[in-house]
A and B are shown apart, each in its own frame.
Chain A
Amino acid sequence: MSDPLLAIRNLCLEFRAAEGWVRVVDGVSLTVREGETLALVGESGCGKSVTALSIARLLPSPPSRIAGGEIRVAGQDVAAMSSAGLRSIRGGVVSYVFQEPGASLNPVFRVGRQIRESLQLHRPDRATDDEVVRLLKLVGIPAPETRARDYPHQLSGGMQQRVMIAMALASEPRLLVADEPTTALDVTIQAQILDLLRDLKRRLGMAVLIITHNLGIVGDLADRVAVMYAGQVVEEAPAAELLRTPRHPYTRALMQSVPELGRASERLRAIPGAVPAPGRWPSGCRFTPRCPVARAECSGNPPSLDTDGLRSVRCPYWNS
């Protein structure tokens, strides 16, 4: 078995705050193989976005630092890479699509030019207008020749996100990291973009790491799902299985607290309390104060991530 495309092992990330260094990601391990799609799910503050950004070392280094673990992209250690090495994997191996496409595109450059910039960096012999048009067509933008000369603010949110995807694909990456790509978009546009991502995945065979707080989009897109809470992975499983039979109490509570269309319920089963902020994580199992099945031992012993090969759960009592 060849090396996985992305291998994060025991990653620990810290941010500098007034009170010193605060740990934001605490021993996260993830793997993505070629052509595979992994969904990283969690709420705000769980550390999923910064984990994703650290894959290409996109986190600015004074306020943040890698405090432990390693990230290997295509076999190479990202933390030890030179800037030249980083520049070549950014785009060349790993491409990003961000949450707010309007803000993630430079407002003073035409979109065609921004796509061409990606081409010039990684596939210079194909940095032509024709290639830009081909990419825009690939992501389903009508009248691509005219659209290429538009500025970002002239495009709708959905179009902007398609442009971002085109830009990400221009360098023919092996892994596409999509950080909440549809959260800022309208529901019908969300459906379009998810459809597009599904289609592109199939056609281009690239691996995808999709970050989201919405378990609903996971089923359609992902092969495997990892759920994060308070800086740790608390559950990991193949997508369909996790959605059908979630094991970790947090995953279950989350799924039960979200209203589902057509599922009649008198009252939602809300999770009490709020997500603990980094630096204020409870001792032992971090979900203890909010967990519906917590026991006395839970706040004493931090549970480890137990795996049976296919599924992992960070809770010794999930089966009770």
Chain B
Amino acid sequence: MALLDVQDLKVHFPVKQGLFARASQALKAVDGVTLSVGKGEALGLVGESGCGKTTLGRAVLRLVTPTGGRVFFEGQDLTALPARKLRGWRRQFQMIFQDPYSSLDPRLPVGESIGEALDIHRLAPDRAARAARIGALMESVGLRPEQASRYPHEFSGGQRQRIGIARALAVEPRLIVCDEPVSALDVSVQAQVINLLQDLQRQRELALLFISHDLAVVEHLCARIAVMYLGRIVEMGPARDLTSTPRHPYTQALLSAVPVVDPDSKRARIVLGGDVPSPLNPPSGCPFHPRCPIAEERCRRDVPALRELGAGRLAACHLA
């Protein structure tokens, strides 16, 4: 049984037009997503702005209430749980945020930020045990326990991100949703945090839902990748397979757009026209058809379903 099972998840935000008008439009941030994450597995969620990946991550943790669909964690339907019961489950899944500068309370010493998690879930019987746990957590992310009494502004961006990871680990979750955890860091520090996540994942059999716009990072870290566009998954499959032979035209364009250091590489250059669309006004039929280089008449009419293409590959394209 998969650790996390998301079925046809929808998150629609009502948008009011005008003062007296009722909600006439819905912003379909997530529009029918089905995926699963196994125990100890890392699934990468990739896409550009407006694709809904961040909203999906939050909806999975029920930080945002889904409008439709279900989220199963170890077989338990989270979407059906009342808030009170959900609290108990929250230990199992945690989140790491993008901005290391604003996700830590500047007025709390970092040890306290980590300790808060322990307190909420009553995981430390006394002060000594608590301090020991905090120290151990800080060491596990490569920081020294003595630094627990310092304040966030005394640390660098990379170190703050490590503290965020320590905080997430405090409750011993089974799944961590990482929302662009390295995008705001210096290039030379990104590798440190990526390595740390990889180590922790292996040591603790942690499942990761890794949200990022950076395909290279995702390919390196994750076993499987799901590509999102306008609230839907357009392609999913094993990481290396997907990046070497992408089946969906959007994935192909995305891969070709990733800047590559090797000056001799000869890649098919696919430059998409138009802008990244807004989920307020999604196109008819296949959401990608206005920018798709191989779109046909059918694509304008019918929404392609996410089909199995064999060997664990799925793609939502009439022409894949």
Contact = CB atoms under 8 A, between A and B. Distances in A.
A and B touch in the complex (CB under 8 A): yes
Interface of A: 43-45, 156, 158-159, 186-192, 194-195, 213-220, 239-240, 243-244, 253-255, 257-262, 264-265, 267-272, 274-275, 290
11 contacts: A156-B276, A186-B213, A190-B257, A190-B259, A191-B271, A192-B272, A215-B261, A219-B262, A220-B259, A240-B264, A264-B240
A170 to B, nearest CB: 23
A195 B257 CA distance: 10
A271 B253 CA distance: 31
A254 B271 contact: no
A260 B254 contact: no
A158 B260 contact: no
Contacts of B263: 219, 239-240, 243-244
User: Is the interface on chain B under 10, 10 to 19, 20 to 34, or 35 or more residues?
Assistant: 35 or more
B275 A159 contact: yes
B5 interface: no
Given A43-B187, A267-B198, A216 B259 contact: yes
B258 A216 contact: yes
B189 interface: yes
A272 B192 contact: yes
Nearest to A220: B259
Interface centre among A156, A191, A219, A255 (most CB of B within 10 A): A191
Nearest to A268: B191
A260 B216 contact: yes
B219 interface: yes
Contacts of A213: 186-187
B187 A258 contact: yes
Nearest to B273: A192
Contact of A219 (B188, B254, B260): B260
A115 B85 CA distance: 58
Contact of B276 (A45, A188, A239, A270): A188
A243 B260 CA distance: 10
Contacts of A218: 261
Contact of B213 (A187, A257, A264): A187
Contacts of A290: 188
B234 to A, nearest CB: 13
Given A187-B254, A219-B262, A239-B263, A43 B186 contact: yes
Interface in B38-55: 48-49
Interface string B264-283: 10000001110110000000
Nearest to A253: B188
Contacts of A158: 275-276
A257 B195 CA distance: 10
B169 interface: no
A268 B220 contact: yes
B188 A260 contact: no
B56 to A, nearest CB: 17
Interface in B225-277: 240, 243-244, 253-264, 271-273, 275-276
A196 to B, nearest CB: 10
Contacts of B194: 259, 268, 270
B227 to A, nearest CB: 12
A56 to B, nearest CB: 27
Given A257-B187, A269-B191, A270-B192, A186 B276 contact: yes
Contacts of A44: 186
Given A219-B262, A268-B220, 16 more contacts: A156-B275, A158-B275, A186-B49, A189-B48, A216-B258, A218-B261, A243-B263, A244-B264, A257-B191, A259-B216, A262-B243, A267-B198, A268-B194, A269-B191, A270-B188, A274-B188
Contacts of B260: 216, 219, 260-261
B299 interface: no
Contacts of A254: 187-188
Nearest to B272: A188
Contacts of A260: 216, 260-262
B152 interface: no
A152 to B, nearest CB: 15
A186 to B, nearest CB: 4
A158 B277 CA distance: 12
Nearest to B276: A186
A192 B219 CA distance: 23
Contact of A195 (B189, B253, B261, B271): B271
B217 interface: yes
B211 to A, nearest CB: 14
B258 A261 contact: yes
Nearest to A221: B259
Given A243-B262, A259-B216, A191 B256 contact: yes
B259 A214 contact: yes
A258 B259 contact: no
Nearest to A140: B273
Contacts of B215: 187, 261
Contacts of B221: 259
Contacts of B271: 188, 191-192, 195
Contacts of A159: 275
A101 B284 CA distance: 30
B158 interface: yes
Contacts of A255: 261
A319 to B, nearest CB: 21
Contacts of B76: none
Contacts of A270: 188, 191-192, 194-195
Contacts of B158: 274
A95 B260 CA distance: 27
Nearest to B244: A262
Nearest to A246: B261
A267 B217 contact: no
A258 B191 contact: yes
